[in-house]
Structure 1
Amino acid sequence: MRTTQKVALVTGAAQGIGAAVARVLAEGASIAALDIQGEGLASLVAELRERGGRAAAFRADVSDSASVERVVEAVERELGPIDILVNVAGVLRVAPAVSLTDEDWTVTFAVNTLGVFHVSRAVARRMVPRRSGAIVTVGSNAAGVPRMQMAAYSASKAASTMFTKCLGLELAQDNIRCNVVSPGSTDTPMQRALWADEHGAQAVIAGSPESFRLGIPLRRLATPADVAEAVAFLVSDRARHITMHDLYVDGGATLGAN
């Protein structure tokens, strides 16, 4: 995908989709892996280095703008100018809208929306003078299609999606592309936490009329690698004329209604 010699900052890199994105981009780029989870982060970086890649771990809470600014500065000092940013860090609080607590709402937006803003702003400020860069925010198909008990998550992802598109419009004049990849149900720890039993995957694939969920036409859950490959394309030179786009990777679960 022609990311060789580039530096990629990936948030939420300790597990799931973030780790998969880091693995795919590490085939050519130097990886700055950012997460609040130190153990998972250290394991990922050790794995990437064993494979011959150049990678470094950076612990930070994306909801803390000062911490983000320090880390972005450290990444550029240690690895070089950031060419690629992938916002993956996210949390999920599930409950009926009328039962969501103030903390549920605040924490969800602090990570899923403020985090995208903090990291994107810090990186974009450095990309602009260089007039080059690619930013991808990993959103969710729940940002475009209502989901039961996911009001906070869906709203936060919708906000970060529109922020990324607005950023893309503003930065187009500086040759910086900003896109969104919106996964559907993906086999990650976050997804598995929603399952009631070992049949959780089958239930998601089949859908649930009482929950207004159609199921997945391709009859399988996405893997983190499926999402990572879409990200890798959008940050590569092969996608050089694509910006402000929202690419759904959901096996057809939303019937293209994005």
Structure 2
Amino acid sequence: MRGLNDKVTLITGAAGGIGRSLVRRFLEEGARVVALDLDAAGLADLETQCAGHAGLLRTMPLDITDHAAVQKTVQAVHAEFGRVDVLVNNAGWDVAKPFVETTPELWDKLIAINLKGPLSLQHAVVPLMLAGEGGKIVNIASDAGRVGSSGESVYAACKGGIIAFSKTLAREAARGNVRVNVVCPGPTDTALLRSFTGDGEFGQKIYDGLKRAIPLKRLGQPEDIPGAVAFLASDDADFITGQVISVSGGLTMHG
């Protein structure tokens, strides 16, 4: 991709399956990656995995539900590097349950992680981008936020909110050369998906059913996501903002 070399790139949820793939891809493109995650042990393991890019990788533990901590962390990154060029909001979490079996406590946690967390990151980063030369934001949402997904009602609401928010922020920040886009993974073979399907025969049936429903006849892999994200963060996407790209193997095909 053009223009990612030396770009200061913040990636949340960096210790997870998709997060690690994102970190590796941006490092391969020569970006200076600040990997953020609540899982400090996972970040340490990520550093080991990416030892060949040690000079480009910085890891920082962060709870994205803590607005003050987000502000402090972003300011620290800006103080160290002098700018923030790219933000990838990747962190997310869910529990599969029918809506009538959920509780307000669960709603609050889902909203804090999947909606308010990304809002906090953008609230901290966008002013810095506007005061500088602009930047790129890629919000990782989900096809659940576009077409719904049984057992993911509140998660889908959060991701739908992220899509709508991203389009609005893209309009507000365009004059400051800040581009905001969304990538929506479909069913992707991660620990989160495995926690939905569970172990045993029933879980395997759900897993196999998802594969049959996808035109490309396989579940997404974490490595399938970073290409679209890197493209939207690159100079090749300078004239793209407010857009949503589904990476779902063709499971969703509407405009």
2:95–2:196 Cα contact (<8 Å) kept:
no
Deviation string, structure 1 residues 201-256 (Cα, Å, up to 9, x no partner)? 323112xxxxxxxx1011111111111111000000011111000000001112x1
Q: Give the whole-Å Cα distance in 1 for the aligned partners of 2:105 and 2:4.
A: 39
Offset of 1:18 from its aligned partner?
Answer: 1.3
DSSP 3-state at the match of 1:194: helix
Which of 166, 186, 189 aligns to 1:187? It is 189
Partner in structure 2 of residue 169 of structure 1: 171
Instruction: Encode CA deviations 1:53-94: one digit per residue, 9 max, x unaligned.
Output: 411111111111100001101112223411000000101122
Aligned partner of 1:204 among 198, 203, 210: 210
Q: Does 1:97 align with 2:99?
A: yes
Contact 1:181–1:231, Cα closer than 8 Å, also in 2 = yes
Q: Distance in 1 between matches of 2:198 and 2:115?
A: 28
Q: Which amino acid aligns with 1:203?
A: G
Correspondence for 2:225: 227
- The 1:46–1:82 alpha-carbon spacing in structure 2 relative to 1, beyond 3 Å, is farther
CA contact (8 A) 1:30 1:79 kept: no
Residues in 1 aligned to 2:139 and 2:55: alpha-carbon distance in whole angstroms? 23
Unpaired runs of at least 5, structure 1: 207-214
Corresponding position: 1:16 with 2:13:
no
Gaps of 5+ in 2: none
1:3 alignment partner AA: L
The 2-side partners of 1:5 and 1:12 are apart by 21
SS state at 2:79 partner: helix
Provide, for residues 130-178 of structure 1, a one-character-per-residue CA deviation record: whole Å limited to 9, x for no partner. 1310000000000011211110110011111111111111110011100
The DSSP-based 3-state class of the residue aligned with 2:173 is helix
TM-score of the aligned structures, taking structure 2 as reference length: 0.94
Identical counterparts, % of pairs = 39
Aligned residue identity for 1:226: D
Distance 1:80 1:101 in 2: 43
Instruction: List aligned pairs for 1:133-148, cutoff 5 A.
Output: 133-148=135-150
Partner SS state of residue 22, structure 1: helix
3-state SS of 1:144 partner: helix
Instruction: For 1:106-125, list aligned pairs within 5 A.
Output: 106-125=108-127
Relative to structure 1, the CA distance from residue 240 to residue 93 in structure 2 (aligned partners, 3 Å threshold; closer, same or farther) is same
- Mapped to 2, the partners of 1:56 and 1:80 lie a distance apart of 15
Q: Answer whether contact 1:26 1:53 (CA < 8 A) is retained.
A: no
Amino acid at match of 1:86: V
Query: Hey, what's the Cα distance between the residues in 2 that align with 1:196 and 1:72?
Result: 37
Task: Tell me the SS of whatever aligns to 1:32.
Answer: strand
> Are 2:247 and 1:257 aligned?
no
The equivalent of 1:67 in structure 2 is 69
Check conservation: 1:164, 1:180, Cα contact below 8 A.
yes
Provide the aligned C-alpha RMSD in A.
1.4
Indicate whether 1:239 and 2:240 are aligned: no
Q: In 2, Cα distance between the equivalents of 1:52 and 1:32?
A: 11
Question: TM-score, length-normalised on structure 1?
Answer: 0.93
